[in-house]
Amino acid sequence: MSEISPGGTRGSTRLDHYVDRYAARTEGMKASEVRALFSVASRPEVVSLAGGMPNISDLPLDVVGKGIADLIAHDGPTAMQYGSGQGTPELREQICEVMRLEGIEAHPDDVVVTVGSQQAVDLVTRIFCDPGDVVLCEAPSYLGALGVFRAYEADIVHVEMDADGLVPEALEQAIAATKAAGRTIKFLYTIPNYHNPAGISLSAERRPEILRICREADILILEDNPYGLLGFDGRIHRALRADEPEGVIYLGSFSKTFAPGFRVGWALAPHAVREKLVLAQESATLCPSAFSQMAISRYLENHDWLGQVEAFRTMYKERRDAMVSALEDFMPATCRWNVPTGGFYVWLTLPPGIDAKAMLPRAVTARVAYVPGTAFFADGYGSSSMRLSFCYPTPERIREGVRRLAGVLEAEMEL
């Protein structure tokens, strides 16, 4: 196996026999700071506030198991065969029902099932981006998407967010400046609900404004919405796609509302784009797993899956509360954080002069892990910030993790 250092692949290590043969695009492939952390953070004594794994321990495994047994008994050969590159018609119809909760009226023909929404980000980038094209992203943005954009050698231009999400004036300025520099913007990548990593949602007032700006500038929107049903007050934001069918590609996922192990997500795209996506999907995987799709179809059909989402929401809200009250109790007064109304993440800003990445080894020694803010920017920003995930550890462990983190931070401030 070749050695991959966090610094990249090509030219990165003398131990790699193939170092001079990799394609130029591998320059953009870097092990994420989260991945480099996983081996340390997964030790049981470390409270990991780093990873974004959903907590699926309450899933009704008996129901899932019965559905799978039934699937094998009645539809086994189909489930274990190659399927359509676009996904099964049954699941695509169910996906349209799911999206209706967010105000979207869609036809199953315009849905492409993908291997998690991660693959949907990849396919969209594959069909749109040439090297040097610009993708607009929030500042900060989802590191898994930044990795995809880099892998296709797109340039990332960040756009400021505030407590109400993407700032419309900043978006206008970024579009104008990028166009004035003669660059081609291929799309705006945005996570409007319970943002990863910022924990923020785009306000209802701003949604039409963002749509108007992109419509007028003829910029496609890639709306990534894996957390949309996980609002703690049960409120469901209206999707951007609901009001702009032709200008938005919408991405959804079953990873957070059901289970990530099935690896099923989807893209809803304008009709012409959908055709290209299916071709890209066929060349990438031939087809998404029929077995996974059919198992999910049975779960959605035979179970109160929305009731389960409600239970997830209650569980995550409890964990959000545990994190926020621990932050209030333990963190130095000079720290700032937001109180997310859904999703998995809190964004913490440290006092000026404290570098979250430099502090990380000391935090891990103190048995707590987080993701430094720089991981979520393409341009080195974010050094005095970090993402704290409250999705996976129990409330007690979250409190203990925040207490440890505050101790590390106080020691750092005294240095």
Q: Beta 185-190 vs 134-139: how paired, if at all? A: parallel
**Residue 142 near ligand PMP by CB under 6 A:** yes
Nearest approach, Cβ of 91 to ligand PMP (angstroms)?
A: 14
Give dist(CA 156, CA 14) in Å, integer. Answer: 30
Calculate the alpha carbon distances from 200 to 103, 115, 162, 241, 309 in Å: 20, 26, 8, 19, 20
Is 99 in contact with 237 (CB distance < 8 Å)?
A: no
CB of 379 to ligand PMP, least distance (A): 19
Tell me which amino acid residue 165 is. Answer: G
The tokens for 54 are: 């959903």
Closer of 12 and 197 to ligand PMP (Cβ): 197
**Of residues 124 and 214, the one with the C-beta less far from ligand PMP:** 124
| Half-sphere CA count of 57, side-chain side, radius 13 A | 7
Q: Which residue has the tokens 């993402």?
A: 387
Q: Is 48 in the site for ligand PMP (CB under 6 A)?
A: no
Among residues 259 and 409, whose Cβ is nearest to ligand PMP? 259
For the segment 143-162, give every residue that binds ligand PMP (CB under 6 A): 144
Using CB under 6 A as the binding rule, whether residue 118 contacts ligand PMP is answered as yes
- Distance of closest approach, residue 52 Cβ to ligand PMP, in angstroms: 5
Dist. CA 29–CA 330, nearest whole Å: 37
Closest residue by Cα to residue 19 from 6, 32, 34, 3: 3
- Counting Cα atoms < 13 Å in the Cβ hemisphere of 211 gives 21
Site string for ligand PMP, 372-391 (x = CB under 6 A): --------------------
Q: Which is nearer to ligand PMP, 231 or 260 (CB)?
A: 260
The answer to whether the CB of 293 falls within 8 A of the CB of 113 is: yes
Tokens of 353: 């002069």
Q: Give the H/E segment covering residue 221.
A: strand 220-224
Q: Closest approach of Cβ 227 to ligand PMP, in Å?
A: 7
Q: What 3 state SS string does 19-72 have?
A: CCCCCHHHHHCCCCHHHHHHHHHCCCCCEECCCCCCCCCCCCHHHHHHHHHHHH
Give the chain's count of helices (H) and strands (E): 12, 14
CB atoms within 10 A of CB 122: 23
Tell me whether residue 37 or residue 408 sits nearer to ligand PMP (CB atom): 37
Q: Write each residue from 78 to 117 as x if it is in contact with ligand PMP (CB under 6 A), else as -, in one continuous string.
A: --------------------------------------xx
Residues 175, 167 contacting (CB under 8 angstroms): no
Nearer Cβ to ligand PMP, position 255 or 374? 255
Considering the complex, state which of residue 117 and residue 384 has its C-beta at the smaller distance from ligand PMP: 117
Q: How far is the CB of 196 from ligand PMP (least distance, A)?
A: 4
Q: Are strands 345-349 and 336-337 parallel, antiparallel or unpaired?
A: antiparallel
d(CA 244, CA 295): 32
The residue range among 22-30, 253-261, 269-277, 367-375 that interacts with ligand PMP, by the rule CB under 6 A, is 253-261
Residue 176: closest CA among 205, 133, 216, 207: 216
For ligand PMP, give the closer residue by CB, 12 or 265: 265
Q: Which of 94, 125, 201, 255 binds ligand PMP (CB under 6 A)?
A: 255
CB of residue 195 to ligand PMP, shortest distance in Å:
8
Among 199, 265, 288, 372, binds ligand PMP (CB under 6 A): 265
Site membership for ligand PMP, residue 253 (CB under 6 A): yes
The CB-of-120 to ligand PMP minimum distance in angstroms stands at 8
* Residue numbers 170-209 binding ligand PMP by CB under 6 A: 191, 196
260: contact with ligand PMP by CB under 6 A: yes
Q: Does 52 bind ligand PMP (CB under 6 A)?
A: yes
- CB closest to ligand PMP, residue no: 116
CB of 344 to ligand PMP, least distance (A): 8
Cα gap 2→279, rounded to integer Å: 31
Q: Which stretch binds ligand PMP (CB under 6 A): 252-260, 269-277, 296-304, 376-384?
A: 252-260
Reported residue count of the chain is 415
Contacting residues toward ligand PMP, per CB under 6 A: 52, 116-118, 142, 144, 191, 196, 224, 226, 253, 255, 260, 265
